[in-house]
């Protein structure tokens, strides 16, 4: 493990050198236009959305409420917050719903204005983008980013012991003269991490959260993929820790990417402050209804677990036969490494198959790809194409 410090003064030069923040990401709309294909025929392995699609219960609920679209949605999402409160066993006043967890992330950094930021590398790029956006708006005190480098030799695992030390170093010692010890310190963790898929166990996370509290460093814990391994969540732990902030989304597990619905859990005071900054009417009525129903759909949950586990075994077997290096994952996607990854990515795209390009992630290079777990039919198609492209028997 190593820590790299970068101040706001040399940040633009460093970003250009390492491509930490790439441009537009691939999506099915751009790919369909480029390939002259219908969007529905694109197989998108770049985004790990539940291959079951929207559940039947949610579809039925939405059909019943289409006639009420002439009514404004509840701006406070009270019904949904009550459901979430019951589901997680937490105070509804500590819950803030948003237009996906990304809205809440941007609200959070807008309110707290962090100046000392700790990020794993690699991890989800949205955290760095959100903070960098605020840095461009603000004037005055500079900022510093500390990158906790994950190592391939360790399977890209995050060590609680060393991450705790990194928080202490960031919180106690101002990294440079223009970043004072009074400036806000913020550490980020995506759990399970994206794009590596590794989860930090609950007992270790609690130690990290306690260290953050002791050092008055906000710990932003993104549990976007935690529904795939719910036993490791610490969502209910934050009542006594005002420095613990959790983000959740309905995008991946519940396949509600098109409705944009997520929620955050943090101290009541921070919820109220974030509400002052948010735009009005960011969560539509159908999104609120769908999320509330999703929390009660046990059949969909169990079907998802069974499908994902079966298809993970299928993909791992294929990767092994094809000699593709992959890293164990606790989520519904895999980080894989191939010497000719960019060629594979490009050739798959001509077939209407999108995979995640990880060359823009800090700490990775152009030999890494992220592949989502899809339906068996889709996984079989991907397997056949990879077999052809690698020239190996799968």
CATH of the domain at 242: 3.40.640.10
Q: Is the pLDDT of residue 20 over 50?
A: no
Q: Is the pLDDT of residue 334 over 90?
A: yes
Q: Are residues 125 and 259 both part of a single domain?
A: yes
Q: Are residues 261 and 308 both part of a single domain?
A: no
Q: Would residue 23 count as lying in a domain?
A: no
Sign of CA dihedral 309, 312, 314, 316: negative
Q: Would residue 20 count as lying in a domain?
A: no
Q: Are residues 133 and 149 both part of a single domain?
A: yes
Q: Are residues 92 and 144 both part of a single domain?
A: yes
Q: Are residues 226 and 348 both part of a single domain?
A: no
Tell me the whole-structure pTM to 2 decimals. 0.92
Q: Is the pLDDT of residue 2 over 80?
A: no
Across the chain, mean pLDDT equals 91
Q: Are residues 144 and 240 both part of a single domain?
A: yes
Q: Summarize pLDDT for 354-374 with one digit per residue, the tens.
A: 999 999 999 999 999 999 999
Structural tokens at position 273: 């402050």
Q: Are residues 340 and 374 both part of a single domain?
A: yes
Q: Would residue 224 count as lying in a domain?
A: yes
Closest CA to 107 of 254, 292, 272, 225: 272
Q: Summarize pLDDT for 99-108 with one digit per residue, the tens.
A: 999 999 999 9
Q: Using CB atoms within 10 A of its CB, is residue 164 exposed (0-12), middle (13-18) or buried (19+)?
A: buried
CATH assignment of the domain containing 378 = 3.90.1150.10
* pLDDT of amino acid 238: 82
Rounded CA separation 204/224 (Å): 18
* pLDDT of amino acid 21: 40
Q: Would residue 4 count as lying in a domain?
A: no
**Prior bond of 134 cis (ω within 30°):** no
Q: Is the pLDDT of residue 255 over 80?
A: yes
Q: Are residues 162 and 92 both part of a single domain?
A: yes
Q: Is the pLDDT of residue 336 over 70?
A: yes
Q: Is the pLDDT of residue 22 over 90?
A: no
Kindly state the percentage of the chain with pLDDT values over 70: 89
More confident residue, 329 or 180: 329
Confidence of residue 23 (pLDDT cuts 50, 70, 90): very low
Are 387 and 373 a contacting pair, CB within 8 Å? no
Answer with the one of 236, 261, 294 that is the final residue of a domain: 294
Q: Would residue 79 count as lying in a domain?
A: yes
Answer with the one of 294, 320, 341 that is the final residue of a domain: 294
Q: How many structural domains are present in the chain?
A: 2
Average pLDDT over residues 223-247: 94
Q: Summarize pLDDT for 28-74 with one digit per residue, the tens.
A: 999 999 999 999 999 999 999 999 999 999 999 999 999 999 999 99
Answer with the one of 294, 319, 339 that is the final residue of a domain: 294
Q: Are residues 32 and 179 both part of a single domain?
A: no
Confidence of residue 176 (pLDDT cuts 50, 70, 90): low
Q: Are residues 202 and 337 both part of a single domain?
A: no
Are 368 and 24 a contacting pair, CB within 8 Å? no
Q: What SS3 class is residue 336?
A: strand
Q: Would residue 14 count as lying in a domain?
A: no
Q: Would residue 128 count as lying in a domain?
A: yes
Q: Summarize pLDDT for 116-167 with one digit per residue, the tens.
A: 999 999 999 999 999 988 876 665 566 789 999 999 999 999 999 999 999 9
Sign of CA dihedral 148, 152, 156, 161: negative
Structural tokens at position 83: 């459901």
Q: Are residues 121 and 165 both part of a single domain?
A: yes
* pLDDT of amino acid 170: 87
Give the residue numbers spanning the domain of 264.
Answer: 58-294
Q: Are residues 216 and 245 both part of a single domain?
A: yes
Confidence of residue 181 (pLDDT cuts 50, 70, 90): low
Q: Would residue 287 count as lying in a domain?
A: yes
């Amino acid at each position: 493990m190593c820590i790299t410090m970068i101040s706001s003064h040399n940040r633009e030069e460093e970003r250009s050198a390492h491509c930490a923040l790439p441009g537009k990401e691939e999506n099915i709309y751009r790919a369909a236009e480029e390939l002259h294909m219908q969007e529905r025929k694109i197989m998108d392995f770049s985004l790990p959305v539940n291959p079951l699609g929207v559940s039947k219960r949610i579809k039925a609920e939405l059909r019943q409420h289409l006639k009420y679209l002439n009514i404004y949605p509840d701006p406070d999402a009270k019904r949904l917050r009550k459901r979430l409160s019951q589901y997680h066993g937490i105070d509804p006043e500590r819950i803030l719903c948003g237009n996906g967890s990304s809205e809440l992330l941007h609200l959070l950094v807008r309110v707290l204005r962090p100046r000392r930021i700790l990020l794993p590398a690699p991890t989800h790029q949205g955290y760095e983008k959100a903070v960098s956006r605020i840095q461009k708006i603000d004037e005055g005190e500079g900022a510093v980013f500390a990158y906790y480098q994950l190592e391939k030799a360790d399977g890209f695992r995050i060590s609680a012991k060393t991450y705790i030390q990194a928080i202490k170093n960031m919180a106690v010692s101002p990294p440079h003269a223009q970043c004072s010890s009074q400036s806000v310190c913020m550490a980020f963790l995506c759990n399970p991490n994206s794009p590596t898929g590794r989860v930090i166990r609950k007992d270790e996370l609690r130690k990290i959260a306690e260290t953050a509290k002791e050092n008055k460093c906000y710990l932003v814990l993104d549990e976007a993929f935690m529904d795939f391994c719910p036993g490791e969540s610490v969502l209910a732990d934050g009542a006594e820790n005002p420095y613990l902030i959790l983000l959740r989304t309905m995008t991946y597990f519940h396949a509600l990417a098109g409705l944009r619905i997520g929620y955050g859990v943090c101290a009541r005071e921070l919820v109220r402050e974030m509400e002052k900054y948010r735009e009005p009417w960011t969560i539509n009525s159908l999104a609120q209804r769908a999320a509330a129903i999703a929390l009660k759909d046990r059949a969909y949950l169990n079907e998802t677990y069974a499908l994902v586990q079966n298809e993970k075994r299928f993909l791992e077997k294929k990767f092994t036969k094809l000699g593709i290096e992959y890293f164990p994952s606790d989520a519904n996607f895999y980080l894989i490494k191939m010497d000719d990854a960019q060629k594979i990515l490009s050739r798959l795209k001509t077939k209407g198959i999108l995979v995640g390009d990880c060359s823009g992630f800090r700490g990775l290079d152009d030999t890494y790809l992220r592949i989502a777990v899809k339906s068996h039919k889709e996984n079989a198609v991907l397997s056949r194409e990879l077999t052809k492209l690698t020239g190996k028997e799968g």
